[in-house]
Amino acid sequence: MTAAETQDDNVLLNVGETVGATAGKAVATAKRTAAAIGAEKDKLAGAASQARTEARRVLKKAKTETKKAAKSAKKVVASAKKSVKRVARKLKRR
């Protein structure tokens, strides 16, 4: 082998190593990015699920409160009717 051939081989080895290292770094970066995206996706999915659960709970509580208010109003109306009838009876006795 001559010095020129050895030098060419060294250049090829250096180029090959450089290309390989660059490709390895690119693959590693892609893997890290994919892992980070996956983690963010999991966080977002969890947050969405929690928000949905919270919304359901709030709606259920509002529905219950509405039912309670309606029931209370009906009781007040019934009591008022009884009071009016009682007063009317007392007036008739006079």
What does the pLDDT look like over 57-76, one tens digit per residue? 998 899 899 989 988 888 89
Whether the per-residue pLDDT at 55 is higher than 60: the answer is yes
Give the separation between CA 68 and CA 65, rounded to whole angstroms.
Answer: 5
Asked whether the CA dihedral 16, 22, 26, 32 is positive or negative, the reply is positive
pTM for the structure as a whole: 0.47
d(CA 74, CA 66): 12
Confidence of residue 31 (pLDDT cuts 50, 70, 90): confident
